[in-house]
Amino acid sequence: MTAQNPFKPYSAAPKFKGYTRQAVYLAMRDGIRLAVDIELPKNLPAGIKIPAILQQTRYWRNSELNPPLSWFHMSANDLPSSVRKMKLFFTDRGYAIITADVRGTGASFGVWQYPWDEPSVEDAREVVDWIIAQPWSNGCVGGLGISYMGTTAELLLAIQHPAIKAVVPMFNHPDAYSDIAFPGGVFNQRFIREWSRMNTLLDQNKPPIFSHSILNNLVRGVCPVDEDRDRHLLANAVQMHVGNYQLESLETISYRDEVDPIQKLSLDSAAVTRFREAIASNPAAVYGWASWLDAGTADAAIRRFLTFPNARHLVIGAWNHGGTRQASPFQPPDAPVSPSFPDQWTELVRFFDAHLKGIENGAQDETIIHYYTLGAETWQNTRTWPPAGTHFERWFFGENHSLVSQPMDGEGGKDQYQVDYTASTGSQNRWWELGTATHQTVLYADRTIQDAKLICFTTPPVEQDIILCGYPVIHLEVSSSKSDVIFFVYLEVVTPEGQVYYLTEGLLHSIHHKISSESSPYKIQVPYHSFREACGEPLVPGKPTEVDFGLLPVSALIRRSHRIRVAIAGHDEGNFPRHPRDGNAEFTFYRSYQQACWIDLPVLLLQLSSHNPVHS
């Protein structure tokens, strides 16, 4: 399949070739020194002023290589890679790239108190002050980053520095609790444990070992700054990292406002929403990037688009975390990335050219969402979310595990499900973001075998092509034999041949089943669960209870004669912890007129086009 390009054509011809690198320490207000790389276009003439792209990372700004590559003064950033190619793309087009190890990480001094802590947010102000004081700076700075770095880019808005004109947070988790650590209030056990292990090794200046990664035998450690020839400064910085926050303590909490017993902080301390007012009032432009198949990044990006007036650009693809691989379940794992990397980078340059160089190219006045439709494997554009013409169609649980358009008459019936604790979404699912290190893609194989372990409800074959576009919402009238369980709800499509394709999912820890009476800090399009301790309430065993929650957003084509399926599990083996801890749970789903289970599906009536129409 040829990669499509949904973006406006733009000429971004290179003006330079190659870049130079310098590594220095910058002293912060309290004496803590941050390690910073400065990459400038090679042979930049004196007197030429250029903007800067700032990246702040928790994962080493650059890696030092072992001999013999180190004998040639090579670093990991000199190896052929998409990261190096992207940097060259920007520096060749007249941008400086500034990359900093955040406080307490890499070669920087200090202690990493928790993700995106207050001192690190304030450090960015001083780094920006230093950037605009450089003789090559035109006084304009943009933020760019993927994942952790994406949130540091978004938090540049919080400092309200006048030099920050535009930021591009990519595949990030502005609400760490719901977007990655506790989706649906469920501890993301596999990911957090491995992320913690990786961070611990990085903080000890040891490269993490990833399966099938060429870097395992090449990397010595983080690059010291240029002045630190004997590495004594690096050794002193690494010694300070002994006091860094250890993520394993998250396993002891359940609520977003519950205080970590070791760090004495809650995950609310890491949420971008603590700076909501400052971000909302910042005029800097925001361009969010996310994927339907990457943890909760698409949900986070849509919330941002709906909430903040400056977040008027958004792209949602079918990628793995970081966008290095195509991830649509309807494509082979080696399908080309769509759009291609050069097309993506050209779009970023167009955005930054508009806001950091003042080039009139249309990006200044745009409100646009570029989104990929699974199944159709095409890109579409819209100015609103969901796109105009979207409405909800309700499908009720019916007899013989069907989905029907009308609720059951009279007393109806019920369906019982003994939770199968071997059910799993596999090892390369949307929640396993560390696969980025080895360029793994998200892989959801045919779900037929797994669905045999779940309770499933399926529509008749649809009579015409339909498009699902938005947030499905599940309503369960359910009882459980145990008070502490998890509901996993998968939305799938079944082909006429019987193959089952994953589309999206939602999950909810039962202690969070109450709908909150509070207002959400974001504009959202699903029932609001606060995940706060005051709203916590276990189920009463055997008592029918209403459980409503949204599934993660998606855009997908359901072809004529295919069927839509809701598959429900009580566990995802290998990824999330088991609830209850002991014993087995049984769910009972009710389907009478008075007690009905249903799913609301966002159906878009507009015809898909390969010409990327803009839906107003």
Q: Is residue 292 part of a domain?
A: yes
Instruction: Note the pLDDT of residue 340.
Output: 94
Instruction: Note the pLDDT of residue 422.
Output: 98
Q: Is 520 a catalytic residue?
A: no
Same-domain check for residues 290 and 416: no
Same-domain check for residues 286 and 399: no
Instruction: Note the pLDDT of residue 491.
Output: 98
Same-domain check for residues 303 and 394: no
Instruction: Note the pLDDT of residue 357.
Output: 98
Is residue 494 a contact partner of residue 563, using CB atoms and an 8 Å limit?
A: yes
Instruction: Note the pLDDT of residue 4.
Output: 86
Q: Is residue 380 part of a domain?
A: no
Which residues partner with 4 through β-bridges?
none
Last residue of a domain, one of 298, 316, 334: 316
Residue 418, phi then psi, degrees to nearest 5: -85, 115
Same-domain check for residues 95 and 196: yes
Is residue 17 a contact partner of residue 218, using CB atoms and an 8 Å limit?
A: no
Number of H helices, E strands in the chain: 10, 26
Position 113, amino acid: Q
Number of domains present in the structure of the chain: 2
Q: Is residue 517 part of a domain?
A: yes
Instruction: Note the pLDDT of residue 507.
Output: 98
From CA 23, how far away is CA 410, in angstroms rounded? 74
Same-domain check for residues 311 and 432: no
Instruction: Note the pLDDT of residue 77.
Output: 74
Last residue of a domain, one of 301, 316, 331: 316
Point out the catalytic residue in the list 260, 294, 415, 451.
294
Instruction: Note the pLDDT of residue 246.
Output: 86
Instruction: Note the pLDDT of residue 295.
Output: 97
pLDDT tens-digit map of 406-455: 988 777 799 999 999 999 999 999 999 987 776 789 999 999 999 999 99
Q: List the CATH number of the domain containing 272.
A: 3.40.50.1820
Instruction: Note the pLDDT of residue 158.
Output: 97
Last residue of a domain, one of 292, 316, 340: 316
Is residue 575 a contact partner of residue 189, using CB atoms and an 8 Å limit?
A: yes
Q: Is residue 350 part of a domain?
A: no
Same-domain check for residues 261 and 396: no
Same-domain check for residues 451 and 312: no
Rg (CA), the chain: 25
178: helix, strand or coil: helix
Instruction: Note the pLDDT of residue 616.
Output: 35
From CA 602, how far away is CA 389, in angstroms rounded? 10
C-alpha distance from residue 587 to each of 433, 447, 556 (Å):
31, 21, 29
Position 39, amino acid: E
Q: Is residue 612 part of a domain?
A: no
Q: Tell me which residue range forms the domain holding 428.
A: 390-604
Find all residues with CB under 8 Å of 117, minimum gap 6, and list them: 103, 269, 270
Q: Is 147 a catalytic residue?
A: yes
Same-domain check for residues 110 and 258: yes
**277 exposure class (CB count in 10 Å sphere: 0-12, 13-18, 19+):** exposed
Instruction: Please state the length of the chain.
Output: 616
Same-domain check for residues 73 and 161: yes
Q: Is residue 385 part of a domain?
A: no
Tokens read off for 146: 């993927």
Q: Is residue 42 part of a domain?
A: yes
Q: Is 321 a catalytic residue?
A: yes
Tokens read off for 544: 């029918």
From CA 131, how far away is CA 139, in angstroms rounded? 8
Same-domain check for residues 37 and 150: yes
Q: Is residue 186 part of a domain?
A: yes
Point out the catalytic residue in the list 161, 241, 313, 321.
321
Same-domain check for residues 79 and 197: yes
Is residue 596 a contact partner of residue 408, using CB atoms and an 8 Å limit?
A: yes
Instruction: Note the pLDDT of residue 3.
Output: 64
Instruction: Note the pLDDT of residue 613.
Output: 39
Tokens read off for 210: 């990833």
pLDDT tens-digit map of 468-521: 999 999 999 999 999 999 999 999 999 999 999 999 999 999 999 999 999 999
From CA 593, how far away is CA 408, in angstroms rounded? 5
Give 461's Cβ-side CA count (13 Å radius).
10
Instruction: Note the pLDDT of residue 199.
Output: 95
Is residue 359 a contact partner of residue 353, using CB atoms and an 8 Å limit?
A: yes
Point out the catalytic residue in the list 147, 178, 291, 481.
147
Q: List the CATH number of the domain containing 431.
A: 2.60.120.260
From CA 187, how far away is CA 509, in angstroms rounded? 9
Q: Per-residue DSSP letters for 251-279?
A: GG--STTPPPTTT---GGGG-GGGGHHHH
pTM to 2 decimal places = 0.95
The list of the chain residues with pLDDT below 50 reads 1, 606, 608-616
Position 551, amino acid: L
Instruction: Note the pLDDT of residue 394.
Output: 97
Same-domain check for residues 394 and 535: yes
